[in-house]
């Protein structure tokens, strides 16, 4: 019995691979390394270089390794890119996910966990937002994920497959032991960008919009530590293996921080100042997106361990320092 982690060479997937190995699972990673790194995959896991839509490869792997669960992280994740290239996003996130789900069904894989996103809610009508809220994605990225949620629901109704969809809010931080972290080039995630500014990797940073109807005028988001997110997947997998029914659940803490609060935390934790350029709003940014995490806590018994902004920031900054030292060694 083994677990297939698609996108396991990427940011969140590599944390999941470590999380699975830590609990003694056999792990197989399938990744085409479009944004991931082979060095992010621990030697204890088998790394298969390939595409999730290569059904011959996927089905051979499922049979050869006795896969009982697929945890599907592989995808394209940059919202503005999805606006510029919607068909590319529908291909990679929706069409190729369909092929993967079909392979799972054909091979009788009983459990499937899918990385979805708070972007399926668009601008939520309520904050915190619960799973039953209206689904009105505002980008091709969000729509591409919602369509995969729907395919999974319908495939599970027709076949012997149970799934968990996890809708992530803003994922940040790094493995506390620095075994992996966010290494994406040109990342746009706020905490990563601020950590790069604090470690001198970039000259200051921009803040997009200071006139939102929030206490300090900047947007509010719910930041979840990547290791807590991996724990939520592990708990979801245990629940599915115990016979749990298919479910869709938010993964966030239920607490929001503004852009300026996050930047202050990075400056406070590092003791370093850096330039902040206050600019205009960016198209498509919702004012506030905060999770109601009650369902994941009740259904999976998920208990976050790093629910603290300064802890998330300090792990992100330590990873950035680690990357800086590793890269200077290569120069």
Ligand X SMILES: NC(=O)c1ccc[n+]([C@@H]2O[C@H](COP(=O)([O-])OP(=O)(O)OC[C@H]3O[C@@H](n4cnc5c(N)ncnc54)[C@H](O)[C@@H]3O)[C@@H](O)[C@H]2O)c1
By CB under 6 A, residue 187 contacts ligand X: no
Minimum gap (Å) between residue 316 Cβ and ligand X: 12
What lies within 8 Å, CB to CB, of 132 at 6+ separation is none
What lies within 8 Å, CB to CB, of 322 at 6+ separation is 178, 181
By CB under 6 A, residue 52 contacts ligand X: yes
DSSP state of 291: B
- What are the beta bridge partners of residue 277? 206
188 versus 277: smaller Cβ distance to ligand X? 188
Please give the residues from 284 up to 313 whose contact with ligand X meets the rule CB under 6 A: none
With beta carbons less than 8 A apart as the criterion, state whether 187 and 14 touch.
Answer: no
In three-state secondary structure terms, 50 is coil
Give CA–CA dist 61/30, Å, rounded. 9
Minimum gap (Å) between residue 221 Cβ and ligand X: 10
With beta carbons less than 8 A apart as the criterion, state whether 144 and 228 touch.
Answer: no
**Whole-Å CA distances, 54 to 10, 47, 67, 70:** 19, 15, 16, 15
Catalytic residue among 11, 89, 121, 141: 141
Give CA–CA dist 273/268, Å, rounded. 9
Please give the residues from 66 up to 105 whose contact with ligand X meets the rule CB under 6 A: 73-75, 77, 92, 96
Rule CB under 6 A: choose which of 1, 34, 134, 154 binds ligand X: 34
66, with CB counted inside 10 A (0-12, 13-18, 19+), is exposed
By CB under 6 A, residue 51 contacts ligand X: yes
Minimum gap (Å) between residue 76 Cβ and ligand X: 6
Rule CB under 6 A: choose which of 35, 199, 270, 314 binds ligand X: 35
Is 141 one of the catalytic residues? yes
Minimum gap (Å) between residue 226 Cβ and ligand X: 8
H runs (alpha helix) in 72-218: 79-84, 86-89, 96-107, 140-158, 190-198
Stretch that binds ligand X, among 125-133, 165-173, 202-210, 268-276 (CB under 6 A): 165-173
Minimum gap (Å) between residue 51 Cβ and ligand X: 4
117 versus 258: smaller Cβ distance to ligand X? 117
Give CA–CA dist 64/30, Å, rounded. 14
By CB under 6 A, residue 32 contacts ligand X: yes
By CB under 6 A, residue 190 contacts ligand X: no
Minimum gap (Å) between residue 87 Cβ and ligand X: 14
Please give the residues from 201 up to 260 whose contact with ligand X meets the rule CB under 6 A: none
Rule CB under 6 A: choose which of 136, 184, 210, 311 binds ligand X: 184
With beta carbons less than 8 A apart as the criterion, state whether 250 and 291 touch.
Answer: yes
DSSP state of 91: I
Stretch that binds ligand X, among 166-174, 192-200, 289-297, 317-325 (CB under 6 A): 166-174
With beta carbons less than 8 A apart as the criterion, state whether 247 and 298 touch.
Answer: no
Q: How many residues bind ligand X (CB under 6 A)?
A: 29
Rule CB under 6 A: choose which of 2, 3, 4, 7 binds ligand X: 7
Minimum gap (Å) between residue 309 Cβ and ligand X: 15
Please give the residues from 117 up to 156 whose contact with ligand X meets the rule CB under 6 A: 117
With beta carbons less than 8 A apart as the criterion, state whether 140 and 222 touch.
Answer: no
Q: Interface residues with ligand X (CB under 6 A)?
A: 6-7, 9-13, 30-36, 51-52, 73-75, 77, 92, 96, 115, 117, 168, 170-171, 184, 189
Catalytic residue numbers read 141
């Amino acid at each position: 019995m083994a677990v297939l982690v698609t996108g396991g060479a990427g940011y969140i997937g590599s944390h999941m691979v470590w999380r699975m190995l830590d609990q003694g699972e056999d792990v197989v990673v399938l990744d085409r390394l479009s944004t991931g790194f082979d060095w992010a995959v621990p030697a204890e896991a088998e790394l298969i270089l390939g595409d999730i839509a290569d059904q011959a490869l996927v089905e051979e792997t499922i049979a050869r390794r006795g896969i009982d669960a697929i945890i599907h992280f592989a995808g394209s994740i940059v919202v503005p890119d999805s606006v510029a290239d919607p068909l590319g996003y529908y291909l990679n996130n929706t069409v190729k996910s369909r092929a993967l789900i079909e392979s799972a069904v054909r091979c009788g894989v009983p459990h499937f966990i899918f990385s979805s996103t708070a972007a399926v809610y668009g601008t939520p009508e309520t904050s915190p937002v619960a799973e039953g809220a209206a689904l009105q994605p505002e980008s091709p990225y969000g729509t591409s994920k919602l369509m995969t949620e729907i395919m999974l629901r319908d495939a599970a109704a027709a076949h012997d497959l149970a799934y968990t969809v996890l809708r992530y809010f803003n994922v940040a931080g790094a493995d506390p032991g620095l075994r992996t972290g966010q290494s994406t080039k040109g990342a746009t995630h706020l905490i990563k960008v601020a950590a790069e500014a604090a470690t001198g990797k970039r000259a200051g940073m921009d803040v997009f919009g200071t006139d939102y109807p929030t206490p300090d005028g900047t947007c509010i988001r719910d930041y979840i530590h990547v290791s807590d997110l991996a724990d939520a997947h592990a708990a979801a997998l245990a629940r599915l293996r115990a016979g749990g029914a298919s479910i869709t659940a938010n993964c966030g803490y239920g607490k929001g921080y503004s852009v300026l609060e996050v930047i202050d935390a990075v400056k406070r934790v590092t003791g370093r100042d850096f330039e902040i350029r206050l600019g205009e709003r960016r198209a498509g940014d919702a004012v506030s997106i905060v999770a109601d995490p009650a369902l994941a806590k009740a259904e999976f018994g998920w208990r976050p361990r790093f629910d603290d902004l300064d802890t998330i920031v300090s792990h992100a900054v330590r990873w950035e320092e680690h990357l800086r030292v590793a890269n200077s060694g290569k120069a």
